[in-house]
Chain A
Amino acid sequence: MSEIIVKIENLVKRYKELIAVDHFSLEIQKGEIFGLLGPNGSGKTTTINCLLSLLSYDKGHIEIFGQEMRPDSYDIKNKIGIVMQNVAVFEELNVYENIDYFCGLYIRDKALRRQYVDEAIEFSGLAEYIKFRPKKLSGGLLRRLNIACGIAHKPELIILDEPTVAVDPQSRNKILEGITELNKNGATVIYTSHYMEEVERICTRIAIMDNGKNLALGTAEELKSMIKNSETIKIHIPVLDDEHLEAIKRLSHVYQCSYSDGVLITAFDGGKHNLIHILDYLKNNEIAFGQVYSELPTLNDVFLEITGKELRD
């Protein structure tokens, strides 16, 4: 059943000395929302641009819909919708005309195009703004226009490059809901972002990227299970002796433990009832404590453990 829509093999892209994409490989199946997660400058946009043959690359092989992707593969391009990181709309045209123009690059039939444009306006919630020039739109609305221009022609494969950068949480929610809806209607989606919450929320599978390399690949659960950390517990403790700290470190499944500024942070690599064990120890030794948090691992932890640095700067 799993049809491969996108196949990237050993992609290498250099900008002079800099290796922007480094032996990157990937397969994306039909119906997925595939997340490409990586910090700024990790090579997400470069990968997408190579995928679309906008950039030439030094090495590698790219197939889309089972065909080799080349700059003149217009039959493939016809089935792709692209939402670029840099908003690409005409300042000289209003919202409606912009969507109509980009849709018209794919859909020649006038009546069908009108229907599609109307649907895209409805979908992106821009109905009130169709006569507005892009300059008059807020950042969030502009991003939505950018998305509407990319998806109006109902493509089979939709590529969104950081569509939510500089967008307020409300607009962001709408955008994410929209993407899920497009996917439900049958589109395969590639979604790049450096916001792990977004990727975790909507993506069926995720690749973690840094320095142009594909570091890890899988569902959010799979990625988290790949790392040692299963749970992090933070407890506010006004006073804690070194003797007790050492004892806590010796509790089962604890692999990391630190105490500073009145907060004890303990990381566990699996095991059950970790919170109960640690709280029991504190009570038995009559150590006073305040607020307690238990955190399940995030993709940030995954990233931290693989690269040794935080995903967010």
Chain B
Amino acid sequence: MQVYRTFFKMLMRNIASGLLYLGIFIIISLTVAKNSESNDFTTFNNAILDISVIDRDNSTLSKALYDYLDDCQNIISIDSDEKKWADELFYRTVDYILVIEEGFEEHVRDENYDNLLTSYSAPDSNTSYIAQSQTESFVQNVCLYLEAGYDYEQAALKAGEISQITADVQISNGSGTDAEVSSVSYFFTFLPYVLICMLINSLGATLMAWNRPEIKARTAVSGTGLTARNAGIIAAMTVYSLVIVGIFIIVCIFSYRKDFFSESTIYYGINGLCYMFVCIAITFLVAQLSKRVSALSMWSNVIGLSTSFLCGVFVTRQLLPDKVVAFSKCLPTYWYINVTEELKYFSGTLSREAWISMGVQLLFAAAIFAVSLVIIKNRQQKNA
């Protein structure tokens, strides 16, 4: 208890150097979040096409196809006079025109509908294919359901659902037409860099004071046992780190208000806690290796910057060379980013891989801790 109290007291005195990083971090994450928010929105808008659908069949199926396309794209009405369509397409009033001829529903069942769906695209349009492929996949799905014995109405409904899902999958593959990425994710993507810097600078300095040989010797001959002393130090380190992460969360709530209160934030938080233990372990190791307190800021920058660049904190992983990505699997930060990447497109449940990634981080923490203990043991033997 005494060790815990004093260690914690000393930590809180060093907190100032840690808060400096917090300040820098808040500025960076807010700016990045602001910028990317507006960008995302425009790309999303661009992906929606202006199309027209001329329904001459007026059947259940043709109406369902109309509704489906209406969900995906922006349908505007145009003159039914075919001669004027060329102009509409040329001036890009619409990108794509679909004509559903009479008898479409009848002939879908025997898959003989090719002549009954006529489409026109704007010249040189490189986006109209989206509407075309959506139409095709919808009709193909309807055929499958009809074959399976559904009636027109049900088949149309099912086909609509399936097509919706495929559309979502295409989006999460990250092809530029993105769903809106929560700004909270930017906050947590940058967390590893800040957390490691803060902990090495503030926690590291206190640990080093404790590691000074005369203090170590003096404490070793006291009536408080080794286990109790270590427990005190570990408890203080954990509580302190939790305080730091807590400050982060509060800042996060203030910055993102509504975005913050979603289910994915909980998982971001759990992932952050796993990485926190990695940072504690790294700090513990650095405090053993570092000779002077002044060397700590160098250590924090070397470790913080290098792992952040290699593991996709600053630059998304898609942009990194494959060899770098392969190598970065040896670093705990890779596994942290694994989870944040998944959470960017969070759909309600976290995958097994994500949980494993968090487990791997904890294993890293344990391994780094073990290495530090081995170093301590070796040193003791050398001195004895």
Which residues of A does B touch, CB under 8 Å?
A: 49, 52-56, 71-72, 74-75, 77-78, 80, 82, 84, 86-93, 97, 101-102, 104-106, 108, 149, 153
A56 CB contacts on chain B under 8 angstroms? 384
CA distance A54 to B222 in the complex (A): 11
Write out the residue numbers on chain B whose beta carbons fall within 8 Å of the beta carbon of A55: 383-384
Residues of A within 8 A of B213 (CB): 86
Q: Tell me whether B9 is interfacial, beta carbon within 8 Å.
A: yes
List 18 interface pairs A-B (beta carbons < 8 Å), by A numbering.
A53-B221, A54-B217, A55-B383, A55-B384, A74-B224, A74-B225, A75-B223, A77-B223, A88-B212, A88-B217, A89-B215, A104-B1, A104-B2, A104-B5, A105-B2, A105-B222, A106-B222, A153-B223
Write out the residue numbers on chain A whose beta carbons fall within 8 Å of the beta carbon of B215: 88-90
How far is B7's CA from A105's CA once the two chains are assembled, in angstroms? 13
Q: Which residues of chain A are within 8 angstroms of B224 by Cβ–Cβ distance? A: 74, 105-106
Please judge, given known A-B contacts A87-B214, A108-B1, whether A93 and B221 are in contact too, CB under 8 Å. no
CA distance A9 to B171 in the complex (A): 80
Q: Which of the residues B3, B206, B217, B225 comes within 8 Å of A84, measured between beta carbons? A: B217
Instruction: Bin the interface of chain B by size.
Output: 20 to 34
Query: Which residues of B lie under 8 Å from residue A90 when comparing CB positions?
Result: 6, 10, 209, 215
- Distance, CA A104 to CA B225, complexed state (A): 13
**Chain B residues positioned under 8 Å from A52 (CB to CB):** 221
Known interface pairs A90-B215, A92-B209, A108-B1; A77-B221 also in contact (CB < 8 Å):
yes
Taking CB as reference atom, which chain B residue is nearest A78? B223
**Contact indicator per residue, chain B 178-215, by CB within 8 Å of chain A (1) or not (0):** 00000000000000000000000000001001001111
Q: Find residues 301-347 in chain B having any chain A CB closer than 8 Å to their own CB.
A: none
Chain A residues near B9 (CB-CB < 8 A): 93, 97
Known: A77-B223, A105-B224. A93 touches B6 (CB 8 A): yes
* Contact status B219-A91, CB under 8 Å: no
For residue B379, CB closer than 8 A to chain A, the reply is no
B84 within 8 A of A: no
Look across to chain A and name the residue whose beta carbon is closest to the beta carbon of B380: A56
Q: How far apart are the CA atoms of A66 and B225 in the complex, in Å?
A: 21
In the complex, which residues of chain A have a beta carbon less than 8 angstroms from the beta carbon of B86?
none
Evaluate contact between B225 and A82: CB separation under 8 angstroms: no
Q: Is A97 a contact partner of B218 (Cβ separation < 8 A)?
A: no
The 5 closest A-B pairs by CB, nearest first: A78-B223, A104-B2, A88-B218, A105-B222, A88-B214
User: Would you call B214 and A86 a contact (CB within 8 A)?
Assistant: yes
- The smallest C-beta distance from B16 to any residue of chain A, in angstroms, reads 13
Mask: chain B, 74-113; 1 = CB below 8 Å from A; 0 = not:
0000000000000000000000000000000000000000
B13 within 8 A of A: yes
A264 to B224, CA, bound (A): 60
The minimal Cβ–Cβ distance linking A11 to chain B, given in whole angstroms, is 14
Closest B residue to A57 using CB positions:
B384
Q: Please, which residue of chain B has its CB at the minimum distance from the CB of A13?
A: B384
Smallest Cβ-Cβ distance to A49: which chain B residue: B217
**B220 within 8 Å of A (CB atoms):** yes
A residues near B219, Cβ cutoff 8 Å: 105
A residues in contact with B217, CB < 8 Å: 49, 54, 84, 88
Does A92 lie within 8 Å of B13, measured CB to CB? Answer: yes
Shortest B247–chain A CB gap in Å is: 21
Q: Could you tell me the distance in whole angstroms from the C-beta of A71 to the nearest C-beta in chain B?
A: 8
Q: Contact between A77 and B222 (Cβ–Cβ < 8 Å)?
A: yes
Evaluate whether A101 and B2 lie within 8 angstroms (CB atoms) in the complex, with A52-B221, A80-B221, A92-B13 already known. yes
Determine whether the beta carbon of B10 is less than 8 Å from that of A102: no
Residue of A nearest to B225 (CB): A74
B213 (CB) vs chain A CBs: closest residue: A86
Min Cβ gap A57→B in Å is: 9
Expressed in whole angstroms, the minimum distance between the Cβ of B381 and any Cβ of chain A is 9
- Enumerate B224-245 residues with CB–CB distance to A below 8 Å: 224-226
Query: How far does the alpha carbon of A78 sit from the alpha carbon of B228 in the complex, in Å?
Result: 14
Chain B residue at smallest Cβ distance from A91: B209
Give the residues in chain B near A72, CB-CB below 8 Å: 225-226
- Closest Cβ of chain B to A206, distance in Å, is 24
Query: When the two chains form their complex, are residues A97 and B221 in contact, meaning their CB atoms are under 8 A apart?
Result: no
Q: Which of A78, A84, A92, A104 contacts B214 (CB 8 A)?
A: A84
A108 CA to B218 CA in the complex, in Å? 18
CB distance from A21 to the nearest CB of B (A): 13
Taken together as a complex, chains A and B put the C-alpha atoms of A149 and B221 apart, in Å, by 13
* With A52-B221, A77-B223, A106-B224 already in contact, 15 other A-B pairs whose C-beta atoms are closer than 8 Å: A49-B217, A74-B223, A74-B225, A75-B223, A77-B221, A77-B222, A80-B221, A84-B214, A86-B213, A87-B214, A89-B215, A90-B215, A91-B209, A104-B6, A105-B2
Q: Is the CB of B218 within 8 A of A92?
A: no
CB interface residues, B 1-41, toward A, < 8 Å: 1-3, 5-6, 9-10, 13-14
CA distance A90 to B207 in the complex (A): 12
Write out the residue numbers on chain A whose beta carbons fall within 8 Å of the beta carbon of B3: 105
Partner of A101 from B6, B206, B212, B221 at Cβ < 8 Å: B6
Cα separation A86 to B384 with both chains bound (whole Å) = 17
**Cα A153 to Cα B2 with chains together (Å):** 14
Q: How far, in whole Å, are A82 and B214 apart by their CA atoms in the complex?
A: 12
Task: Write out the residue numbers on chain A whose beta carbons fall within 8 Å of the beta carbon of B212.
Answer: 88
Q: Which residues of B contact A53 (CB under 8 A)?
A: 221
